[in-house]
Amino acid sequence: MPRKKIKMTGVDLSSFPEPPEGQSLHDAQQDVADSMEMGEGVDCPLCGRVVKAYNRKLSPVLVARLINLVGEYMNTRDWCAVPTEPAGKKVLFETLMYWNFITMAEAIDDTPMARPTKDGYDFVRGKLTAPSHRFFFNSKEIGVSEIQVTVVEALEGKFDYDELIKVVPIPTRKLKVKG
């Protein structure tokens, strides 16, 4: 059911800060962008609210689960249940889409389904590096880290790459990954 719009009357704007004289919206946006440091809030010169950017890290748990997904996909060549192992901090597997490492499908019986992309497969096999972080503001991506990591570096020594990769069969022919 759509939300019902409620019109406000008698709105008191006195608590809003006065915009700096002669400053346009674009100028204010540029001021915020120039003074924003990752994770640090900045006062918006137009609305007075604190705004900040945040990041998503290519975490060791995500990478280990991506390796498991690639292994499962290599065996089935079909959509796979989103891996929940290895256990670790609560991470959203879907964030791997920001790196173009996975494609998500409709859940089957409340089980989220995914498959790796060619980039995801190449990253797992060590043929591709990726930005260590992606940066967001207002739920929109605004940049990527200059730091590129390999699959082994992304695991940060928390998981053994050689042990994890044992679940990934090496194809004798070129892999065709959909997506």
DSSP count for the chain of H helices, then E strands: 5, 10
pLDDT tens for each residue of 122-166: 999 999 999 999 988 777 888 888 999 999 999 998 999 989 888
- What digits encode the pLDDT tens for the residues 26-72? 887 777 777 766 567 787 777 777 887 788 899 999 999 999 999 99
Please count the other Cβ atoms lying within 10 Å of the Cβ belonging to residue 40.
10
Residue-range domain boundaries for the chain: 25-53, 58-167
pLDDT tens, 90-116? Answer: 778 999 999 999 999 988 888 899 999
In 3-state terms, what secondary structure has residue 167?
helix
> 175 pLDDT exceeds 60?
no
Task: Return the closest-CA partner of residue 50 out of 40, 58, 59, 60.
Answer: 40
